[in-house]
Chains A and B, each alone.
Chain A
């Protein structure tokens, strides 16, 4: 047991001391913050026009004259010039566009907007909305409908979701649930891959550098495998803990500096509708158990090959269930977190880390969580057993191209 501790210590320290590890601790939260800022900026800006745009309206129908409303950075000018004259102007200034409205404007694609640049999607949308509004108003006037009354009876209903519990009603936020669920699923998925692959690379390194024979003349192969898996797992935990602490600190700081804007605060308030403690606990559990399950398999793959390039054929079946669940999670499952497919995926060990984390913010029934956890523990005991039997033979096999048949043979080898 003492020797396993030594191995864990080495695996952990050599990784944690690496410069890349320390850099990652700080870079990733910064990247996430920066990405968030960029997304917010882009989302805000994409509805605005960057420069003042002038639209020259050539109205042959006479229905629209004087009815366009100017907006920020978007001005409408009515002109009696012919299209050819306007065109000459367009070629000179790319911030001018021409809107041709023929007499029979209701026909498909009859209305044309042209400019030197390709007309932007924002400007097209704005002009389209404006024209539709005007056309509708015109239509209503023609049919003697009072637009004032119509406006007053127009409704704008939005639902406020409330979850009823025994301790009292609480406000929930579907958006936050989905956000947190998908974020957890993606994180688990990435973490399983990143740290599983690290275990595999570690095994291949020992095999190709041939130090393996020295080590296993001192410890049993299983001890080495276990030490490596636990050591790398602790590296993962350290990394996540550092990220969580850094995120909490940075949101606190940002929260203070942005408290006037209130946007960040309301986002935090929304997050409070989710059982953060429970989600966090489950995240750690599913990361650890899922990692143990997959890293054992990754270790077996590493032991069967001579270099990283040969891992492809074995990696595919291992990654398939994870990839499959991940794809389903971010596309369909978050819309129906209690559907039978989601429930089954969150119970089967190979897919449960991703699927259950996706469901977690929506509060799945306790029995499902317990069943899924128990099965996951059984699952990793099972894969570790299989992997250890392949590993002990594989690490001593050089130059032999391993096939699945070969792996099965190794599994049945006596000591």
Chain B
């Protein structure tokens, strides 16, 4: 769908993107992660042809990105905004027509969307009469009304209350199911694990990590397990097939230990060692969350 190759973007004072390459496959939900000021918005603006890269190229469906692709992209910028004094229905139609939709088609689709999101009564309202959350909802509709193949969302959940964030999340997933490719930037990690198929991590203008969420998390496995058992707290003599990273004593003889399994051993060895001694409630592998990977990676390059 989208192939970003060796993009470099230099601003007067600083470098926003240095040699960034990404692949977004058709039908994916792709998360663009990174701390503030990493270069995410610069990259998104380049994909939207708002600015052009100094070098490198962007391919859209194998073609070099050009004006004909504009109508196939929907963009929700991080800084939301609509014409304050314009009626909302008319404004949505205007924005859709700028994306190449006919007036009648825009009206038809808008009615469906308004009904779906419970906005029927807003048609004649001016933007300034709506609450911030309502404005965001309207803007989301404006982004997707022309049924773009690629939907680019910059921090889509910021500014929504939890209920509406959930509604928008569901809508995004529904659009994805219908075939739209989603590219969104965020620093809310929990939404990443829930939504994204693939991610790329950008930090200080460099891409430092990318791939599918699963493979990235797997690559960060380090044989760490959490064991919960019932019985008197264990003491270890060094012959056990693991190392204790952390031990916690709970009430009623409940104990939790975090262990790192020794090389050439497996979780089965651990169980065999522990079974005769205590009553085991749980054994679980600890896979680092995207949040931890994110922080680790960002701290690594400082």
Chain B residue at smallest Cβ distance from A9: B94
Among B50, B51, B79, B139, chain A packs the most CB atoms within 10 A around the CB of B50
| CB atoms of B83 and A218 under 8 A apart | no
- Chain B residues lying within 8 Å of A396, measured Cβ to Cβ, are 45, 50-51
B195 at the interface (CB under 8 A from A): no
| CB atoms of A213 and B79 under 8 A apart | yes
- Chain A residues lying within 8 Å of B54, measured Cβ to Cβ, are 414
Chain B residue at smallest Cβ distance from A14: B86
Q: Using A14-B85, A209-B84, A211-B82 as known contacts, say yes or no to A217 and B52 having CB atoms under 8 A apart.
A: no
| CB atoms of B77 and A215 under 8 A apart | no
- Chain B residues lying within 8 Å of A51, measured Cβ to Cβ, are none
| CB atoms of B79 and A3 under 8 A apart | no
B73 at the interface (CB under 8 A from A): yes
B81 at the interface (CB under 8 A from A): yes
In the bound assembly, the distance between CA atoms of A3 and B100 in angstroms comes to 8
| CB atoms of B85 and A210 under 8 A apart | no
Q: What's the minimum C-beta distance from B91 to chain A, rounded to whole angstroms?
A: 9
- Chain B residues lying within 8 Å of A209, measured Cβ to Cβ, are 81-84
Per-residue interface assignment for chain B, residues 70 to 109, with 1 indicating a CB less than 8 Å from any chain A CB and 0 otherwise: 1001010101111111100000001101110000000000
| CB atoms of A210 and B81 under 8 A apart | yes
In the bound assembly, the distance between CA atoms of A217 and B100 in angstroms comes to 13
A91 at the interface (CB under 8 A from B): no
Among A7, A205, A212, A217, point to the contact of B48 (Cβ < 8 A): A217
Among B79, B81, B84, B99, chain A packs the most CB atoms within 10 A around the CB of B81
| CB atoms of A210 and B12 under 8 A apart | no
| CB atoms of A409 and B12 under 8 A apart | yes
- Chain B residues lying within 8 Å of A213, measured Cβ to Cβ, are 45, 50, 75, 77, 79, 81
- Chain B residues lying within 8 Å of A414, measured Cβ to Cβ, are 52, 54
- Chain B residues lying within 8 Å of A216, measured Cβ to Cβ, are 50
Chain B residue at smallest Cβ distance from A218: B98
In the bound assembly, the distance between CA atoms of A342 and B49 in angstroms comes to 48
| CB atoms of A211 and B83 under 8 A apart | yes
Chain A residue at smallest Cβ distance from B41: A213
| CB atoms of B81 and A211 under 8 A apart | yes
- Chain B residues lying within 8 Å of A218, measured Cβ to Cβ, are 70, 95, 98-99
- Chain A residues lying within 8 Å of B49, measured Cβ to Cβ, are 217
In the bound assembly, the distance between CA atoms of A217 and B152 in angstroms comes to 11
A33 at the interface (CB under 8 A from B): no
- Chain A residues lying within 8 Å of B70, measured Cβ to Cβ, are 217-218
- Chain B residues lying within 8 Å of A206, measured Cβ to Cβ, are 83
In the bound assembly, the distance between CA atoms of A210 and B127 in angstroms comes to 13
In the bound assembly, the distance between CA atoms of A3 and B94 in angstroms comes to 10
Per-residue interface assignment for chain B, residues 18 to 54, with 1 indicating a CB less than 8 Å from any chain A CB and 0 otherwise: 0000000000000000000000000001001111101
- Chain B residues lying within 8 Å of A7, measured Cβ to Cβ, are 98
In the bound assembly, the distance between CA atoms of A396 and B44 in angstroms comes to 13
Q: Using A6-B94, A14-B86, A409-B12 as known contacts, say yes or no to A214 and B81 having CB atoms under 8 A apart.
A: yes
In the bound assembly, the distance between CA atoms of A211 and B142 in angstroms comes to 12
In the bound assembly, the distance between CA atoms of A216 and B99 in angstroms comes to 11
- Chain B residues lying within 8 Å of A205, measured Cβ to Cβ, are 83-84
A415 at the interface (CB under 8 A from B): yes
- Chain A residues lying within 8 Å of B12, measured Cβ to Cβ, are 409
Per-residue interface assignment for chain A, residues 1 to 38, with 1 indicating a CB less than 8 Å from any chain B CB and 0 otherwise: 00100110010001000000000000000000000000
Interface size in chain A (residues, C-beta < 8 A): 23
In the bound assembly, the distance between CA atoms of A295 and B188 in angstroms comes to 44
In the bound assembly, the distance between CA atoms of A398 and B45 in angstroms comes to 15
- Chain A residues lying within 8 Å of B139, measured Cβ to Cβ, are 214
| CB atoms of B79 and A219 under 8 A apart | no
| CB atoms of A217 and B75 under 8 A apart | yes
Among A10, A210, A398, A409, point to the contact of B94 (Cβ < 8 A): A10
In the bound assembly, the distance between CA atoms of A415 and B45 in angstroms comes to 12
| CB atoms of A214 and B95 under 8 A apart | yes
- Chain B residues lying within 8 Å of A6, measured Cβ to Cβ, are 94, 97-98
Chain B residue at smallest Cβ distance from A18: B85
In the bound assembly, the distance between CA atoms of A206 and B84 in angstroms comes to 9
Chain B residue at smallest Cβ distance from A6: B97
In the bound assembly, the distance between CA atoms of A145 and B86 in angstroms comes to 84
In the bound assembly, the distance between CA atoms of A35 and B81 in angstroms comes to 44
In the bound assembly, the distance between CA atoms of A218 and B142 in angstroms comes to 12
Q: Using A214-B75, A214-B95, A218-B70 as known contacts, say yes or no to A415 and B82 having CB atoms under 8 A apart.
A: no
Chain A residue at smallest Cβ distance from B143: A214
Q: What's the minimum C-beta distance from A296 to chain B, rounded to whole angstroms?
A: 21
In the bound assembly, the distance between CA atoms of A265 and B83 in angstroms comes to 50
Among B48, B52, B98, chain A packs the most CB atoms within 10 A around the CB of B98
Among B73, B80, B85, B97, point to the contact of A217 (Cβ < 8 A): B73
In the bound assembly, the distance between CA atoms of A398 and B86 in angstroms comes to 23
Per-residue interface assignment for chain B, residues 128 to 167, with 1 indicating a CB less than 8 Å from any chain A CB and 0 otherwise: 0000000000010010000000000000000000000000
| CB atoms of A415 and B52 under 8 A apart | yes
- Chain A residues lying within 8 Å of B97, measured Cβ to Cβ, are 6
Per-residue interface assignment for chain B, residues 49 to 66, with 1 indicating a CB less than 8 Å from any chain A CB and 0 otherwise: 111101000000000000
- Chain A residues lying within 8 Å of B85, measured Cβ to Cβ, are 14
In the bound assembly, the distance between CA atoms of A375 and B70 in angstroms comes to 38
Interface positions, chain A 201-239, Cβ under 8 Å from B, are 205-206, 209-219
Per-residue interface assignment for chain A, residues 330 to 356, with 1 indicating a CB less than 8 Å from any chain B CB and 0 otherwise: 000000000000000000000000000
In the bound assembly, the distance between CA atoms of A415 and B79 in angstroms comes to 22
- Chain A residues lying within 8 Å of B82, measured Cβ to Cβ, are 209, 211, 214
- Chain A residues lying within 8 Å of B73, measured Cβ to Cβ, are 217
In the bound assembly, the distance between CA atoms of A214 and B127 in angstroms comes to 15
B residues neighboring A (CB under 8 Å): 12, 45, 48-52, 54, 70, 73, 75, 77, 79-86, 94-95, 97-99, 139, 142
Known: A209-B83, A210-B81, A214-B139. 17 other contacts (CB 8 A): A3-B98, A6-B94, A6-B97, A6-B98, A209-B82, A209-B84, A210-B77, A211-B83, A213-B50, A213-B75, A214-B75, A214-B81, A215-B98, A217-B49, A218-B98, A219-B98, A415-B51
Q: Could you give 21 example pairs across A and B, Cβ below 8 Å?
A: A6-B97, A6-B98, A7-B98, A14-B83, A205-B83, A209-B81, A209-B82, A209-B83, A210-B77, A210-B79, A213-B50, A214-B77, A214-B81, A217-B48, A217-B73, A218-B95, A218-B98, A219-B98, A396-B45, A396-B51, A398-B79
Interchain residue pairs A-B with the least CB separation, the first 10: A210-B81, A218-B98, A213-B77, A210-B79, A209-B81, A415-B52, A217-B48, A217-B75, A211-B81, A211-B82
